[in-house]
Chain A
Amino acid sequence: MRHTLKTLLLCLLLPSAQVLAEEVQVAVAANFTAPMQVIAAAFEQDTGHQVKASFGSTGQLYAQITHGAPFDVFLAADDSTPAKLESEGATLGGSRFTYATGALALWSAQPDLVDHSGAVLRSDRFQHLAIANPKTAPYGMAATQVMAAQGLLEQLTPRLVEGQSIGQAYQFVASGNAELGFVALSQVYRDGQLSNGSAWLVPAELHDPIHQDAVILSKAAANPAATALVDYLRGERAAKIIRSFGYQL
């Protein structure tokens, strides 16, 4: 009985160990969810490797990584978090690079609420303005910088609602519970145009640039799929996908 059980266990474990060698687990900042899904599908098709992606706020993912989460690659929403991981010795040396530069949009699901210069922020045509938590999400931090740059931060603070990631901020606006919100352009942008609602594409000079860096984490040293994915991200096909979601490269 004990023997059969052992054999059974071995049978279950062995093939999966082989599969694991070609599987890459990647932690992805929430704003990059949609492009990552497209890129992962293309990558799997082109290379045969499997991608397992987890999405969350950059702060959340950082905390998971420092507590031993099994990720091979980390696509952050900023450059400081990967740099921090690098200085802590948690990454493969020299693997850090900027895979995209993010853009911020003031977006509403209502077709005519947001104008092309963001003047709606000075109006009382909304009760709630959704942002991502500025403490943990770089897009949330950028949103507060934009409001501060326009001298509106103090006046808007009572109307702010915070999502724990840019994904939740988007969901507050999409469900109409917040009339508008600062989201990542990539969440509302497809093939070079706004997919629905109305938006102000926030000029990049109103906030610190959102350089989004990627790193290979040190546990992935022996995983060829991790390097393959990072190479793929730098490649032509991925660049095209990334641009189509409104990112700069």
Chain B
Amino acid sequence: MPLTSADFAAIWLTLQLASITTALLLLLGTPLAWWLARTRSWLKAPIGALVALPLVLPPTVIGFYLLVAMGPQGPVGALTQSLGLGTLPFTFTGLVIGSLFYSLPFVVQPIQNAFEAIGTRPLEVAATLRAGPLDRFFHVALPLARPGLVTASVLGFAHTIGEFGVVLMIGGNIPDQTRVVSVQIFNHVEAMEYAQAHWLAAGMLVFSFAILLTLQRRGRVGARAIS
């Protein structure tokens, strides 16, 4: 196989990025999805729309604003500098933050749909059995929403693996920090190293197909969650 150590480093980095992003998104996205599924607040529509924005925005828009916001003159950059963290573009942490925005809807929406599908009845029944709000969430809602959570994890992971435009704009192509597989494929193509580009690109193709096939086989959960 003509893959170099730089290619393997990119693969490893991509897997790390996708794992960390997915874990963080499950932690942050589940309460958000719960709120979106249950609330009657007027904020539901605008927040739901905000969550969905990355579905329609070009990654260049997200990348550009992240670069500006996280730069030394931007609000996020000012904050991270005052905390002694420096600025975030060109760092792995910066990529994680970019990926959180980029993959947010792919995690929140399936979970939200799953919560909404449960309806109020199981929760009301649990309440009559004296289950408190936390008890109802952890022992009724979460187990019932399991298929949605699985779909969310798979989609969040896969979508982060496929991230390109955002990374290209805030990454700076640094080995072991920001050079993920999609960027490495771009580098190979630009340098006319087509054999290596093929190996990585075909790997991505097979990987993505396998993921979607798994979702399809799990019944129609995945398809429903995406739509």
Q: Considering the chains assembled together, what is the distance between the CA atoms of A160 and B72 in angstroms?
A: 17
Q: A176-B73, A177-B87 are in contact. Are A128 and B172 (CB under 8 A)?
A: yes
Any A CB within 8 A of the CB of B16? no
Q: Considering the chains assembled together, what is the distance between the CA atoms of A135 and B197 in angstroms?
A: 15
Interface size on B, residues (CB 8 A): 20
Q: Considering the chains assembled together, what is the distance between the CA atoms of A65 and B144 in angstroms?
A: 55
Which of A60, A160, A177 lies in contact with B71, CB distance below 8 A?
Answer: A177
Any A CB within 8 A of the CB of B89? yes
Any A CB within 8 A of the CB of B90? yes
Mark contacts of B153-197 with chain A using CB atoms, 8 A cut-off: 1 yes-contact digit, 0 otherwise.
Answer: 000000000000000100011100000000000110111100000
A-B contact count (CB 8 A): 55
Q: Is the CB of A136 within 8 A of B172?
A: no
Which of A57, A59, A162 lies in contact with B172, CB distance below 8 A?
Answer: A162
Any A CB within 8 A of the CB of B86? yes
Q: Is the CB of B73 within 8 A of A59?
A: no
Any A CB within 8 A of the CB of B131? no
Q: Which secondary structure dominates where chain B touches chain A? A: loop
Any B CB within 8 A of the CB of A16? no
Q: What distance in Å separates the Cβ of A30 from its nearest Cβ neighbour in chain B?
A: 13
Any B CB within 8 A of the CB of A172? yes
Q: A175-B71, A176-B71 are in contact. Are A161 and B191 (CB under 8 A)?
A: no
Q: A128-B90, A177-B90 are in contact. Are A161 and B71 (CB under 8 A)?
A: no
Query: Chain A contacts of B191 at CB under 8 A?
Result: 59, 135-136
Q: What distance in Å separates the Cβ of B94 from its nearest Cβ neighbour in chain A?
A: 10
Which of B72, B87, B173 lies in contact with A162, CB distance below 8 A?
Answer: B173
Q: What distance in Å separates the Cβ of A108 from its nearest Cβ neighbour in chain B?
A: 12
Q: Considering the chains assembled together, what is the distance between the CA atoms of A133 and B87 in angstroms?
A: 22
Q: Which of A59, A161, A177 has its CB near the most chain B CB atoms (within 10 A)?
A: A177
Which of A62, A133, A160, A177 lies in contact with B89, CB distance below 8 A?
Answer: A177
Query: Chain A contacts of B67 at CB under 8 A?
Result: 175, 177
Query: Chain A contacts of B72 at CB under 8 A?
Result: 176-177
Any B CB within 8 A of the CB of A164? yes
Q: Which residue on B lies nearest to A161, using beta carbons?
A: B172
Q: A128-B90, A161-B90 are in contact. Are A133 and B189 (CB under 8 A)?
A: no
Q: Is the CB of A135 within 8 A of B190?
A: yes
Query: Chain B contacts of A59 at CB under 8 A?
Result: 190-192
Any A CB within 8 A of the CB of B68? yes
- Which residues on A are within 8 Å of B, measured CB to CB? 57, 59-60, 62-63, 127-128, 130, 133, 135-136, 160-164, 172, 175-178
- Which residues on B are within 8 Å of A, measured CB to CB? 67-68, 70-73, 86-87, 89-90, 168, 172-174, 186-187, 189-192
- Contacts A63-B192, A127-B86 known; list 12 others, CB within 8 Å: A59-B191, A127-B87, A136-B191, A160-B174, A161-B90, A161-B173, A161-B174, A162-B172, A172-B172, A177-B71, A177-B89, A177-B90
